[in-house]
Structure 1
Amino acid sequence: MLFNSFGFIMFFLIVMALYFTLDFKYRWLLLLISSYYFYMSWNRIFIVLIIFSTLVDYSVALKMGETENKRERKNYLIVSLVVNLGLLFIFKYTLFFNESLSRAFSFFNVTYPIPTAFNIVLPMGISFYTFQTLSYTIDVYRGRIKPEKHLGIFALYVSFFPQLVAGPIERSDKLLPQFFEKHKFEFDRVLSGLKQVLLGFFKKVVIADRAAVVVNEIYNNPYNYEGLYFLIATFLFAFQIFCDFSGYSDIAIGTARILGINLMTNFKRPYFAKSIKDFWRRWHISLSTWFKDYLYIPLGGSRVAVPKFLFNVFITFLISGLWHGANWNFVIWGAIHGIYQIIGYLTIPIRKSIIKRLKINKNNFCFKVMQSGFTFVLVGFSWIFFRANTFTEAKFIINNFFNNWVLWFDLNYLYEILTNLGVTLWYIIVLVSAILLLIVIEWLSRIESLDKRLLKSNLVVRWSFYYMLLIIVITMGVFYDASEFIYFQF
């Protein structure tokens, strides 16, 4: 069941009506049943994995809460780690490691005994709910939180449908207590949630799904194109993946808010970031903070010798890349961001010296625009590996990126490219206009959220904006071929 479908809208309206009608003590059960139904609408059998993971982590957390013995607590934590990461490895990485080993054996002319011609279905959202429940058991082990004794409420924490398959990855100390609170129907809160859902739909069906048509055509057939085609496709993919994922997060946060549940902000205008480090403070925040708290800091963080610190940074991003997908392209993508961070750290003295010598005011608007522009280019380059189907294709795209660049200023050549993209000129105009509108929205919300900013404006202006957005979604949105969200595959 996709967020961008009529089926989900009907499903949520029914859940919302029942939620505010039912007595408070039965609401958790309604949400749990609804969450399981939501997930089973994709594939029934894989609900078994969620239930199994839930029961294991619920049990080991209770056991850890019953003893002060560090060795016993550690053994229970190991059970949780082995079960959850084991399931993740089996379903997500078995084929990847099997094929990688096969190639390694082949390189040394050694016969590989295990066949590679088999398929394993990847359970939707397994990386997200696995990391969410792991954060719970690790926090119980560390003594940060007490184990949850209500099995139903804990099961709901693991499977809460708005953020089940693509986050945000919520921490138990923030989400669990909210399921015990009594949430009344509050018009302003519901309206605020609906506004965020509307913004999410705008990002997904007007920008992401429109951009996908061009991006998929070029990136799925790279040997048919060159030069400016790759620039256009890469630029559009940068907005496709942002609008696809942040659009999902907006819909998740908005639907949860309608029910009285507050989820964490997952994106904060990442393409306005002034450095790669700043970018990762703004992009997929729930995952970035997860890796920081449960991998980077345990490795030693920055409170170690410089070489070890740089290694910690690199290995964190390398694993982050692998988390995104069982493909060497994702590993390379993560490695690129790790290298960016290392170079950024090592060049701090040089950059400070240049700024001082040139007497550059770091608060200057033009300087900030240049920083954001340069960061966007670096991120855009890394997206090539993220989107390309294979490393060979990614290398081909990079090698042919600037072919015929002298023609980029030829209007006839530009017209030829637009007509060869397989979409109409009106399609391109709508897409570009929507991206520009999004940039304006992101810019206006840099100090405070768009909703809060509009609440301070004239009533006519405020509602004109939301009605305009609604009309754009209804008339310009891509609904005829509802596509999955990109991060569902992770």
Structure 2
Amino acid sequence: MAAALADRNSVGVFGKGQNKAKNFVLVCFSLIFYAWGEPLYVFLMLVSVFFNFRFGLIIGKSRNHRRAALVGGLIFNILVICTFKYLVFFAQTLNDCGINVPVPRIALPIGISFYTFQSISYLMDVYRRVSPAQRRFSDLLLYISMFPQLIAGPIVRYQTVAEEIHDRHVTSRDIADGTYRFLIGLGKKVIIANQLSEISGQFLVDGLDSLSTAGAWVGIIAFTLQIYFDFSGYSDMAIGMGRCLGFHFNENFRHPYCCTSITDFWRRWHISLGSFFRDYVYIPMGGNRRHQALNILVVWFLTGMWHGASWNFILWGLYFGVIVMLEKYTLLRVHDRIPRVVLHVYSLLLVIIGWGIFYFDNFDSMLIFFNAFIGQSAALTDFVSQAAITDNFWLWVMAIIFCMPLRGTASALLASMLGRSSVLHGGAVLCVRVCISLVMLMLSVALLVGATNNAFIYTRF
């Protein structure tokens, strides 16, 4: 009976011969999803996909013009993102320098950074012969426009899903695991991130003019936790929805606040972005072989620029770039000799400072915050900051606990309690998952009813 059940699950809910129909339906709903919030800019995405499709065909077929087609495709994608994301910033910067130029009014298309980088990933993978050129425009459109990760990532490499675009099937296990992962992400966002955003906004926006030192710390720690649960929650939801559709996206977060260095932090945080810059910028520039320090600074300058057209993002990127560069020549060489708790405190402190730079796109507001942060404020503490801790005590506890790698610990504990019985272990895991899923769903729905603060932070990028 068990063998028969396994055979039935392996066949999948959908057959392999239905891929064209499934892809067509998924493309249609992805375009509707994007057009729902950006009806005009859906045409920009279609044009972008068409040009990348043509460049990809030339790269895949031609022997003499492969490099020229790659360069042309990269220039096209860079021009698209620079025009719609950075043109206003460049014009404003020139005006600030005394050069009068008209400042265009261009709205930022949602998710342009993500789908542009995925287009670049496609061209690079085809050029390196990691994946063949896509011969169906609709299938490349599916890769670029796939709604689970379209507007806020993660950045899915073409090689990751190339085979699944053409041949995939969805099993009952995929749907179960994907649904569970989606509900975990929903809970992270609605139950934790949204509540923390109210605390961070209370101090870093509404109460900035009268900010105490304790308020500065409470506000920025709330934002530190908020941005993790916000973005990792969205990544979990995207990975879960992708799994339900038969796609297996790579992990994007691995408990970054458990890091022991800034280098370690960025190996755990937004992994898809870090690996993109590593493979497509850092290594082609020479990587560790030559000009390493310059390569690191260039990558981190671009990382800052990718996050937003503002000087605070550039400063934020260079801040981490300098730290990562210095760690390679200092800390990482004696890393194993330093107590882990010291490394952990050191890393979290620098990360929190970094989020302080990231949060404020106004330098006057940033200066007010950091003055309070280092104790240069009218008051060291106040009733508001104390109330923010005591009134939300269990929210803080829950947020800190869920930053830790609980899954491995829980699995090991469950295994030790149930012994070697795979049947008991599987049944216990199923019961726990069902209970967690129901709790996440009910609490999330209850909090979403009448809520007004539900935007994902990374939709800005």
The answer to whether residue 234 in structure 2 is matched with residue 248 in structure 1 is yes
Aligned match of 1:379 in 313, 327, 351? 351
Letter aligned with residue 321 of structure 1:
G
Q: Tell me which residue corresponds to 2:303.
A: 320
What secondary structure, in the 3-state scheme, does the structure 1 residue paired with 2:179 have? helix
Cα deviation for residue 183 of structure 1 reads 1.4
Letter aligned with residue 295 of structure 1:
V
Q: Tell me which residue corresponds to 1:346.
A: 329
Q: Tell me which residue corresponds to 2:403.
A: 439
Encode CA deviations 1:243-285: one digit per residue, 9 max, x unaligned. Answer: 1111100000001111111111111111111111111111111
Q: Tell me which residue corresponds to 1:188.
A: 173
Letter aligned with residue 303 of structure 1:
R
Number of residues paired by the alignment?
Answer: 440
Aligned pair in 2 of structure 1 residues 403, 142: CA closer, same or farther (>3 Å)?
A: same
What secondary structure, in the 3-state scheme, does the structure 1 residue paired with 2:108 have? coil
Structure 2 distance, partners of 1:41, 1:268, is 32
Normalised by the size of structure 2, how large is the TM-score? 0.87
Letter aligned with residue 197 of structure 1:
F
Q: Tell me which residue corresponds to 1:230.
A: 216
Q: Tell me which residue corresponds to 2:145.
A: 159
Q: Tell me which residue corresponds to 2:315.
A: 332
Structure 1 distance, partners of 2:445, 2:414, is 21
Structure 2 distance, partners of 1:156, 1:321, is 28
Structure 2 distance, partners of 1:451, 1:149, is 48
Aligned match of 2:27 in 17, 28, 32? 32
The answer to whether residue 144 in structure 2 is matched with residue 171 in structure 1 is no
Encode CA deviations 1:361-404: one digit per residue, 9 max, x unaligned. Answer: xxxxxx33332222111111000111013122212211221337
Q: Tell me which residue corresponds to 2:385.
A: 417
Aligned pair in 2 of structure 1 residues 345, 78: CA closer, same or farther (>3 Å)?
A: same
Q: Tell me which residue corresponds to 2:58.
A: 63
Q: Tell me which residue corresponds to 2:102.
A: 115
Cα deviation for residue 338 of structure 1 reads 0.5
Structure 2 distance, partners of 1:104, 1:232, is 37
Q: Tell me which residue corresponds to 1:6.
A: none
Structure 2 distance, partners of 1:458, 1:51, is 43
Aligned pair in 2 of structure 1 residues 174, 220: CA closer, same or farther (>3 Å)?
A: same
Normalised by the size of structure 1, how large is the TM-score? 0.83
Is the 8 Å Cα contact of residues 170 and 263 (structure 1) preserved in structure 2?
A: yes
Aligned match of 2:85 in 89, 92, 100? 92
Aligned pair in 2 of structure 1 residues 63, 41: CA closer, same or farther (>3 Å)?
A: same
Cα deviation for residue 474 of structure 1 reads 3.7
Cα deviation for residue 92 of structure 1 reads 0.5
What secondary structure, in the 3-state scheme, does the structure 2 residue paired with 1:220 have? helix
Cα deviation for residue 461 of structure 1 reads 4.5
Structure 1 distance, partners of 2:47, 2:413, is 41
Is the 8 Å Cα contact of residues 206 and 434 (structure 1) preserved in structure 2?
A: no
Aligned pair in 2 of structure 1 residues 156, 328: CA closer, same or farther (>3 Å)?
A: same
Q: Tell me which residue corresponds to 2:198.
A: 213
Structure 2 distance, partners of 1:437, 1:350, is 31
Cα deviation for residue 446 of structure 1 reads 7.2
Is the 8 Å Cα contact of residues 125 and 166 (structure 1) preserved in structure 2?
A: yes
Structure 2 distance, partners of 1:478, 1:425, is 25
Letter aligned with residue 200 of structure 1:
G
Structure 2 distance, partners of 1:469, 1:387, is 29
Cα deviation for residue 58 of structure 1 reads 0.6
The answer to whether residue 384 in structure 2 is matched with residue 398 in structure 1 is no
Q: Gaps spanning 5+ residues in structure 2: where?
A: 1-12, 417-424
What secondary structure, in the 3-state scheme, does the structure 2 residue paired with 1:439 have? coil
Is the 8 Å Cα contact of residues 267 and 284 (structure 1) preserved in structure 2?
A: yes
Structure 2 distance, partners of 1:418, 1:157, is 48
Structure 2 distance, partners of 1:309, 1:452, is 45
Aligned pair in 2 of structure 1 residues 487, 452: CA closer, same or farther (>3 Å)?
A: farther
Q: Gaps spanning 5+ residues in structure 1: where?
A: 1-17, 106-111, 361-366
Structure 2 distance, partners of 1:201, 1:483, is 11
Aligned match of 1:297 in 283, 295, 298? 283
Is the 8 Å Cα contact of residues 232 and 253 (structure 2) preserved in structure 1?
A: yes
What secondary structure, in the 3-state scheme, does the structure 1 residue paired with 2:347 have? helix
What secondary structure, in the 3-state scheme, does the structure 1 residue paired with 2:97 have? helix
Q: Tell me which residue corresponds to 1:78.
A: 71
Aligned pair in 2 of structure 1 residues 372, 472: CA closer, same or farther (>3 Å)?
A: farther
Is the 8 Å Cα contact of residues 206 and 477 (structure 1) preserved in structure 2?
A: no
Cα deviation for residue 436 of structure 1 reads 3.6
Encode CA deviations 1:332-385: one digit per residue, 9 max, x unaligned. Answer: 000010011122122148736xx65xxx6xxxxxx3333222211111100011
Is the 8 Å Cα contact of residues 85 and 108 (structure 2) preserved in structure 1?
A: yes
Q: Tell me which residue corresponds to 2:294.
A: 311
Aligned match of 1:53 in 48, 55, 58? 48
Of the structure 1 ranges 317-326 and 393-402, higher mean CA displacement relative to structure 2 is found in: 393-402
The answer to whether residue 450 in structure 2 is matched with residue 486 in structure 1 is no
Q: Tell me which residue corresponds to 1:389.
A: 361
Structure 2 distance, partners of 1:449, 1:299, is 43
Aligned pair in 2 of structure 1 residues 104, 315: CA closer, same or farther (>3 Å)?
A: same
Structure 2 distance, partners of 1:91, 1:451, is 51
Over the residues paired in the alignment, what is the CA RMSD in angstroms? 2.9
Aligned pair in 2 of structure 1 residues 165, 173: CA closer, same or farther (>3 Å)?
A: same
What secondary structure, in the 3-state scheme, does the structure 2 residue paired with 1:44 have? coil
Q: Tell me which residue corresponds to 1:259.
A: 245
Letter aligned with residue 59 of structure 2:
M
